[in-house]
Amino acid sequence: MAERLPPEVQQQIVKLQQLQAQLNQVVTEKNVLEQELREVSRALEVLKDVPEDGEVFRVAGHLLVKVKKSDAEKELSERKELIELRLKTLEKQESLLRQQISELQTKIQRSLSGAGGAGG
């Protein structure tokens, strides 16, 4: 029963492993960005309660730097937009990768069942 896989199937399996690795990378990056989006959204919520002349500080390395509330809101809003855009891109990538993986798995299964059926 120690049959060798045809070279085409071996290549498909390697491609499948590459796609799965890419998918894992995309999902990981998406999770990180979703967490960052929650933090940015929370910071924007907190800023709503701060009076216009209230003190707002931003982390800069090991320092806290005083900034205008409007500047902080603008910076956070821009960051939020950027994250949301990147998330949409990653969601499209994830969907495409899942589709490619599914199609390739089906191909491999057909090849293996065809090879197994022909040999038996």
- The rounded Cα 60 to chain-centroid distance in angstroms is 26
Q: How far is CA 90 from CA 34, 40, 101, in A?
A: 11, 19, 16
**What does the pLDDT look like over 17-70, one tens digit per residue?**
999 999 999 999 999 999 999 999 999 999 999 999 999 999 999 999 999 999
pLDDT at position 115: 62
Domains and CATH numbers, the chain: 14-113 (1.10.287.370)
Strand pairing class (56-60; 63-67): antiparallel
pTM of the model: 0.81
Strands (E), 1-120: 56-60, 63-67
Residue with tokens 């990768």: 97
Task: Give the residue among 4, 9, 17 at the shortest CA–CA distance from 107.
Answer: 9
Torsion, Cα 96 99 103 104, to 10 degrees, reads: 60
pLDDT digits (tens, 9 = 90+) for 74-114: 999 999 999 999 999 999 999 999 999 999 999 999 988 87
